[in-house]
């Protein structure tokens, strides 16, 4: 059974929900600080839309939302609905038909909520159109994800697909090139032409891409490692490098 409500914590994440999806908000809980202008503005906004406001102390708020990393404010919300395989197919078709050049981020079993949130934040910042994740063995949307994403969990379309390999086949048939990241790649991300419609696939922490996912990629790219002891990057850092190389190439072409 789907959850009836989830918690969003931290100023940026709470502000994003109140601004973009106020209809999902259920109640606002806060450790009131009259001298905090950001908090006061948020409380005023909540009051304007008729949202119940509950003043609590820090300990009670941590217990209520299940996290101590809340910046003294937490919003109870109805869960945001993620898209499925069919929604993804329609979404990418609409992008292509509108003349846009799709940039999709695919996460293959990224389970750490900090990494997932950081990837969402970077995807939003780089102008990616959507993030695709597998339903199984992937981080759910948690307060940690919401806070680390700094609002991007609200702005970024997310598609959770039952079969990631099949979803990649679908977008490939639409004309989107799928690039996977792997230390086995013959070319670095800087040697490939990344100006076409692209989905960049990032592997799980420590494991990389699953063999089936890797087999669906049109090409594999690597990140040069010049260090003595470091052989790989954190998935969220690697995501930033790859997305911004795509941004750089497309900007140079424009």
Look at residue 230 in the predicted model and tell me its pLDDT. 61
> Which residue's structure tokens are 């994003």?
16
Question: What confidence tier does 3 reach under pLDDT thresholds 50, 70, 90?
Answer: low
Residue 93 has pLDDT above 90, yes or no: yes
200 or 78: which leads in pLDDT: 200
Residue 211 has pLDDT above 90, yes or no: yes
Q: Which of 12-16, 67-71, 150-154 has the lowest mean pLDDT?
A: 67-71
CATH numbers and ranges of domains, the chain:
6-77 (3.30.1330.30), 85-253 (3.40.1280.10)
Single out the residue of 113, 126, 17, 119 nearest to residue 67, CA to CA: 113
The whole-angstrom separation of Cα 146 and Cα 220 is: 30
Residue 185 has pLDDT above 60, yes or no: yes
If you average pLDDT over residues 212-220, what whole number do you get? 96
Structure tokens at 63: 């217990």
Single out the residue of 131, 122, 109 nearest to residue 211, CA to CA: 109
If you average pLDDT over residues 48-52, what whole number do you get? 93
Query: Mean pLDDT of all residues in the chain?
Result: 91
Residue 178 has pLDDT above 90, yes or no: yes
CB 162 within 8 A of CB 188: no
Look at residue 227 in the predicted model and tell me its pLDDT. 66
Look at residue 50 in the predicted model and tell me its pLDDT. 93
Residue 124 has pLDDT above 70, yes or no: yes
Question: What confidence tier does 1 reach under pLDDT thresholds 50, 70, 90?
Answer: very low
If you average pLDDT over residues 237-253, what whole number do you get? 95
CB 181 within 8 A of CB 222: yes
Q: What is the pLDDT of residues 224-237, one digit of tens each?
A: 877 656 667 789 99
Question: What confidence tier does 80 reach under pLDDT thresholds 50, 70, 90?
Answer: confident
**Dihedral pair phi/psi, residue 243, rounded to 5°:** -65, -40
């Amino acid at each position: 059974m789907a959850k009836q409500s989830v918690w969003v914590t931290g100023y940026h994440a709470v502000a994003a929900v109140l601004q973009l999806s106020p209809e999902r908000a259920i109640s606002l809980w806060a450790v009131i600080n009259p001298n905090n202008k950001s908090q006061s503005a948020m409380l005023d906004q909540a009051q304007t839309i008729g949202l119940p406001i509950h003043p609590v102390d820090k300990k009670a708020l941590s217990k209520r939302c299940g996290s101590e990393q809340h910046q003294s404010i937490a919003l109870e919300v109805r869960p945001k609905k993620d898209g499925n395989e069919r929604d993804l197919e329609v979404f990418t078709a609409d992008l292509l038909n509108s003349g846009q050049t799709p940039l999709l981020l695919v996460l293959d079993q990224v389970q750490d909520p900090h990494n997932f949130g950081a990837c969402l934040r970077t995807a939003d910042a780089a102008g990616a159109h959507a993030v695709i994740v597998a339903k199984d063995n992937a981080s759910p949307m948690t307060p940690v994800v919401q806070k680390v994403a700094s609002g991007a969990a609200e702005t970024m379309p997310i598609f959770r697909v039952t079969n990631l390999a099949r979803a990649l086949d679908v977008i490939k048939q639409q004309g989107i090139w799928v690039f996977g990241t792997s230390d086995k790649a013959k070319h670095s991300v800087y040697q490939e032409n990344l100006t076409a419609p692209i989905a960049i696939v990032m592997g799980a922490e420590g494991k990389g891409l699953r063999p089936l996912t890797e087999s669906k990629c049109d090409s594999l790219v690597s990140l040069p490692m010049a260090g003595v002891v470091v052989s790989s990057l954190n998935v969220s850092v690697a995501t930033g490098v790859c997305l911004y190389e795509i941004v750089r190439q497309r900007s140079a072409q424009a």
